Chains A and B, each alone.
Chain A
Amino acid sequence: MFLARFLARRLLQGVLIIFLVSALIFSLLRVVPGDPVRLMAGGMAPEALIEQIAEDMGLRDPIYQQFARYVGGIAKGDLGQSFVRPANGAAVGGASFDDSTRGERAKVWDLIAQTAPKTLMLAVLAMVFALVIATPIGVWAGLNPGRLPDKFALYLSSFFVGLPNFWLGIVLALLLSVKLKLLPAIGYNGFSYTILPALVLAVEIAPFIIRTLSVSVAGVMSQNFIDIASVRGLTRNQIIFRHALKNSSVPLLNLLGVQFSMLLGGVLVIEFIFDYPGLGLLTINAVMQRDFPLIQGIAIVTAAAFVLINIAVDLCATAIDPRLDY
């Protein structure tokens, strides 16, 4: 009952959020200078032809009409078609002018569906790495506030946050891949290609987990029920593992929800550096090619993912702490 009401409310809110996002990104792309048709048709295309294509694609209609049409499409699960990518392969170029018939262009949804699993794998692996690195350090720091482990955690997380992901990617690729030949770095040809990018991404995420955990564990440890638990006869292990960690996991969950977009930002850059064929690389190429439908589609899909992840996070949080009420 509670669950149904919760899901209904949150999904409804999610739809609203996605609508706002699509409105934002749609109008943004129409306001900024640069004509996608010119790019699409190639620099040599005659003006009349460009106008012709634009007309055909409905790009000269008023913005609200275009938007209405677009939203109508989304409602039916259709994110439109790429401006530049053909359906038959991942050809990147859009400079030549020979494949202008719309039927041959790739569906945005297909492009996203092809690349998303790789990104998902990268993100999950990175999250696993990050948790493995950060959890012990954060908990250890939280149990010893103001002392050495805490200082270590502070210095380490300050250092990790200060490592720009693209630079770390280059350095690690140089060291581990070029010099030591331990891991492959560029492109994707099997699972091992995911490890290095995931490691870089993990370094980017880990400090946030360390900080959140050390603060929340320290906070929980100073609470009355932990203090009094020893007088009640519970052992220190019981107190830490059964009570303290459980209580301090809620802020961590919330962090994951809010920092989702940060994670995605990292993915984008790292995929670009390692030439990893995921959603991030797709995004960057879409921007470079002014592939508006693709940019829009990616923005909407990520917004939807954000909404879903946050619903899941809040559900987990309420399961852990029944006082919470979203």
Chain B
Amino acid sequence: MSLDLQNTTETLLSVRDLTVVVKNDHGSRTVLDEVSFDLKPRQVLSVIGESGSGKTVLAKALASWLSPPLEIAKGEILFGGRDLIADRSHARHLAGREIAYVGGNPAGALDPTMTVGAQLVEKLRAVRPQISGADARAKAIRLLEAVKIPSAHRRFHEFPFQYSGGMMQRAMIVDALISDPELLIADNITQPLDVTVAAQILKLMRELNENFSTAILFICSSLPVASDAGDEVMVLHSGRVVERQEPEALVARPQHAYTRGMIDELPSLWADGPVGDGQQAHAQDQAALMSVRGVAKHYVTRGKQGHAIVQAVRNVDFDVFPGDNFGIVGESGCGKSSLMRLLTGLERPDAGQVLFEGENVGEASSKRLRALRRRFQLVLQDPYGSLPPQATIGSIVEEPLKIHGIGDRRRRRELGRGVLNEVGLADSLYDHLPTGLSAGQRQRLNVARAMILEPRLLIMDETLSALDQTEQGKLLDLFERLQAKHGFTYIFISHDLTMVRKVCSRIAVMYLGETVEVAPNDRLFFDPGHPYSRALLSAAPTLEARRYAPEECLLEGEPPSPIDLPPGCAFASRCPRAFDRCRSENPALTERGDASSAACFLVDGAIARKDTA
């Protein structure tokens, strides 16, 4: 079908002067402003823009999915020569049939009460009633296999909640492609996924484009991802198309100032070369401020199959020295959050020790713990959820003082104003609610609240991940200033490699609850000791020449479930270098010199052993 079309016309989709407005009581605001572009059959066009640039509105307009207050003011969307705006019923007819849509929220995209397979079949038969049930089923399973869902026959009968985020996104891609559409609109599909999973999905999209003769409009907010995915990249800014070029040309010779700014703002992993770090050398001479020794924690969940034990944290080992910027990186489900709860004494470990200034946090009495908490503090991830609702900014910063019974009313207010000024929040906000604060300002408030007790150690749990690049930069500057003034030690828990690369002196990499590598910054990025670290680096979204190619570092497949851990190394199933021993025995952290260690049999001596075996 698509082949015929290819012969008759050179453009599949042609958008002309598309203008979309938001209508409300106060009038209307333009969201898309005379957007025009063409898309050829089988072409992959990336559309990039920051949030608010109108890219999702564009996706919805093309999928005929705009709902009030959004409204098309003028323009044409010509699909195969027919205008979808003028001919609504034709547009509805195409939806799901020739124009497929995959969104950025795979978790909520299917009915939770029906199996994935049944819904794929239902969709196919809704748009192609002539296909029999058995054929539809066979096709669904074939496509599930094509998107590399393991044991597709079994997965066909599973429910959406039994799929991981990455698998669900693959299933949604199947859902879109099952009707052999001519156009696939992929709206932010990698955004909610972990970098290694996102890299797998991107790879898959490229393969599918080759095999399925579907044109793809790939919408995303990350320039590296957009360049990776598309034949061409179109930049959208405040509702206008500012330029469109092939990825290499775009990066090398951006035409528009906005694009240039965006490229300049991208942080780099390797471009600046090894930065060296004098700070960490002297830090090592002192006693560790916080030491984590073989910590483990499991949770018991009650599922349909009875009780299950989730190994959230195991074999975690590292030291944090005074003045360190210690980073803990890993993808979702690696145990970062559980580890954070152990470090802060919110939970007690099953085994091992968390020592703060030589004192075991995991065994401290609750009274002692409260006293210790004056000296280590936590800044949380979600700028919106981490502040108590209905409390004024002033009472939020004063709360820690009240809890610990420090100072009288006047003294507390004085201290409160002091820290607010230090983090760059105006005095005048003192009696206001934080409702109107931006995400960055909220995180400043969180920092202020944590530092009012004058702690020695601040644990930052994904503190910056909700912020955009500019805000992140400002807060990092603030952290540096505060460190210089108060001598704080930081632990940054993050999934963001570029952030960690920029600020951390030493870094621990976690995978499925374990620290698989601990190394100084440069060493980790230039000479990673664990294959997982390398895979993580290879998947990092960057425009730089990659030091590690994803194809060589990561196999297809999902991380194993923490409920059902394999006996050997947890990474073995996705590791291109895995050998027999990896599948039966779990490697421990091994010194590899220069204050680095990695939990892999391939570290130094281990390689020799493999060769002789």
Chain A interface (Cβ < 8 Å from any Cβ of B): 1-2, 5, 223-225, 228-235, 238, 242-243, 246-247, 320-323, 325
Quick one: closest B residue to A321, CB to CB?
A: B113
Contact in complex: B111, A243 (CB < 8 Å): yes
Quick one: closest A residue to B123, CB to CB?
A: A232
Chain A residues closer than 8 Å to B69, beta-carbon distance: none
Chain A residues closer than 8 Å to B302, beta-carbon distance: 325
Quick one: closest A residue to B98, CB to CB?
A: A233
Contact in complex: A231, B179 (CB < 8 Å): no
Chain A residues closer than 8 Å to B113, beta-carbon distance: 243, 246-247, 320-323
Contact in complex: B95, A230 (CB < 8 Å): yes
- 28 A-B pairs with CB atoms under 8 Å apart are A2-B305, A223-B108, A224-B109, A225-B108, A225-B109, A225-B111, A228-B103, A228-B109, A229-B111, A230-B65, A231-B63, A231-B64, A231-B95, A231-B101, A232-B123, A232-B126, A232-B175, A233-B96, A234-B123, A235-B126, A238-B122, A242-B122, A243-B113, A247-B111, A321-B112, A321-B113, A323-B159, A325-B302
Chain B residues closer than 8 Å to A225, beta-carbon distance: 108-112
CA distance in complex: A1, B306 (Å): 9
Chain B residues closer than 8 Å to A235, beta-carbon distance: 126
Partner of B159, one of A243, A322, A325: A322
By Cβ-Cβ distance, the 9 closest A-B pairs, closest first, are A233-B96, A224-B108, A233-B127, A232-B96, A321-B113, A231-B101, A243-B111, A2-B304, A323-B161
Contact in complex: B126, A228 (CB < 8 Å): no
Most-contacted residue by chain A among B65, B96, B302, B306 (CB, 10 A)? B96
Chain B residues closer than 8 Å to A234, beta-carbon distance: 96, 122-123, 126
**Is B97 an interface residue when CB atoms closer than 8 A count as contact?**
yes
Contact in complex: A224, B111 (CB < 8 Å): no
Contact in complex: A323, B112 (CB < 8 Å): yes
Quick one: closest A residue to B105, CB to CB?
A: A224
Chain B residues closer than 8 Å to A5, beta-carbon distance: 306
**Is B385 an interface residue when CB atoms closer than 8 A count as contact?**
no
Contact in complex: B123, A325 (CB < 8 Å): no
B:100-138 near A, CB below 8 Å? 100-101, 103, 105, 108-114, 122-123, 126-127
Partner of A325, one of B63, B109, B110, B304: B304
**Is B567 an interface residue when CB atoms closer than 8 A count as contact?**
no
Partner of A233, one of B103, B114, B123: B123
Q: 19 extra interchain contacts, Cβ-Cβ under 8 A, other than A223-B108, A229-B111, A231-B96?
A: A2-B304, A5-B306, A224-B105, A224-B109, A228-B101, A230-B65, A230-B95, A231-B63, A231-B64, A231-B95, A231-B101, A233-B95, A233-B97, A233-B179, A234-B126, A235-B126, A246-B114, A247-B112, A323-B161
**Is B303 an interface residue when CB atoms closer than 8 A count as contact?**
yes
Nearest CB of chain B from residue A36's CB, rounded to whole Å:
46
Chain A residues closer than 8 Å to B63, beta-carbon distance: 231
Contact in complex: B103, A325 (CB < 8 Å): no
CA distance in complex: A171, B92 (Å): 53
Chain A residues closer than 8 Å to B127, beta-carbon distance: 233
Quick one: closest A residue to B128, CB to CB?
A: A233
Chain A residues closer than 8 Å to B305, beta-carbon distance: 1-2
CA distance in complex: A239, B123 (Å): 11
CA distance in complex: A235, B96 (Å): 11
Nearest CB of chain A from residue B79's CB, rounded to whole Å:
15
CA distance in complex: A325, B302 (Å): 8
CA distance in complex: A228, B102 (Å): 9
CA distance in complex: A222, B101 (Å): 19
CA distance in complex: A243, B175 (Å): 17
B:355-413 near A, CB below 8 Å? none
Nearest CB of chain B from residue A297's CB, rounded to whole Å:
35
Nearest CB of chain B from residue A143's CB, rounded to whole Å:
15
Nearest CB of chain B from residue A205's CB, rounded to whole Å:
25
Nearest CB of chain A from residue B114's CB, rounded to whole Å:
8
Contact in complex: A325, B96 (CB < 8 Å): no
Quick one: closest B residue to A318, CB to CB?
A: B304
Chain A residues closer than 8 Å to B97, beta-carbon distance: 233
Nearest CB of chain A from residue B96's CB, rounded to whole Å:
2
Most-contacted residue by chain B among A223, A232, A235, A247 (CB, 10 A)? A232
Quick one: closest A residue to B93, CB to CB?
A: A233
CA distance in complex: A320, B114 (Å): 9
Quick one: closest A residue to B60, CB to CB?
A: A231
